[in-house]
Amino acid sequence: MNDIWSENVQGVMTLYLSRKLRFDDVFFEQYKRAFDIDENADMKILEIGCGPGALAGSLHRWYPRAQITAIDRDSNFISFAKENIPGIDFMEGDATDLPFGDRSFDVTISNTVQEHIEPTAFWGEQRRVLKPGGVCLCLSARKGLQCTAPCLETTVAEKEFWESIPQSEDERERYGVCRYPMSEAELPASMEQNGFSDVTTGYAIIDLTPDASKYPAQMARAMIEAMRQGALEAIKSVHSDCAEKAVSAVNAKYDERLRLYREGVKQWDTSVSVTMILRGVKR
Ligand SMILES: C[S@@+](CC[C@H](N)C(=O)[O-])C[C@H]1O[C@@H](n2cnc3c(N)ncnc32)[C@H](O)[C@@H]1O
Q: Which residues line ligand 1 (CB under 6 A)?
A: 5, 15, 19, 49-51, 54-55, 72-74, 77, 94-96, 111-113, 116-117
Q: Which domains does the chain have, with CATH numbers?
A: 4-282 (3.40.50.150)
- pTM metric for this prediction: 0.95
* pLDDT above 60 (res 229): yes
Rounded to the nearest angstrom, the distance between the alpha carbon of 49 and the centre of ligand 1 is 4
Work out which ligand 1 atom sits closest to the CA atom of 94: 20
Provide the 3-class DSSP secondary structure of residue 273. Answer: strand
What distances in angstroms separate CA 18 from CA 157, 199, 273, one per listed residue? 25, 28, 11
As to burial, measured by CB atoms within 10 angstroms (0-12 exposed, 13-18 middle, 19+ buried), residue 40 is exposed
pLDDT at 169: 57
Distance in angstroms (rounded) separating the CA atoms of residues 6 and 74:
7
172 — pLDDT class (breaks 50, 70, 90)? confident
Work out which ligand 1 atom sits closest to the CA atom of 22: 8
Contact 87, 26 (CB under 8 A): no
What is the overall mean pLDDT for the chain?
95
Rounded to the nearest angstrom, the distance between the alpha carbon of 50 and the centre of ligand 1 is 6
Angle subtended at Cα 16 by Cα 12 and Cα 19, rounded to the nearest 5 degrees? 145
Distance in angstroms (rounded) separating the CA atoms of residues 62 and 234:
32
Distance in angstroms (rounded) separating the CA atoms of residues 50 and 95:
10
Rounded to the nearest angstrom, the distance between the alpha carbon of 72 and the centre of ligand 1 is 6
Rounded to the nearest angstrom, the distance between the alpha carbon of 164 and the centre of ligand 1 is 31
User: Which residue puts its alpha carbon closest to atom 27 of ligand 1?
Assistant: 51
pLDDT at 10: 92
pLDDT at 161: 92
Percent of the chain with pLDDT over 90: 90
Q: What is the pLDDT of residues 108-122, one digit of tens each?
A: 999 999 999 999 999
Q: Is the dihedral of CA 58, 63, 68, 73 positive or negative?
A: negative
* pLDDT above 60 (res 173): yes
Contact 109, 55 (CB under 8 A): yes
User: Which residue puts its alpha carbon closest to atom 4 of ligand 1?
Assistant: 51
pLDDT at 167: 65
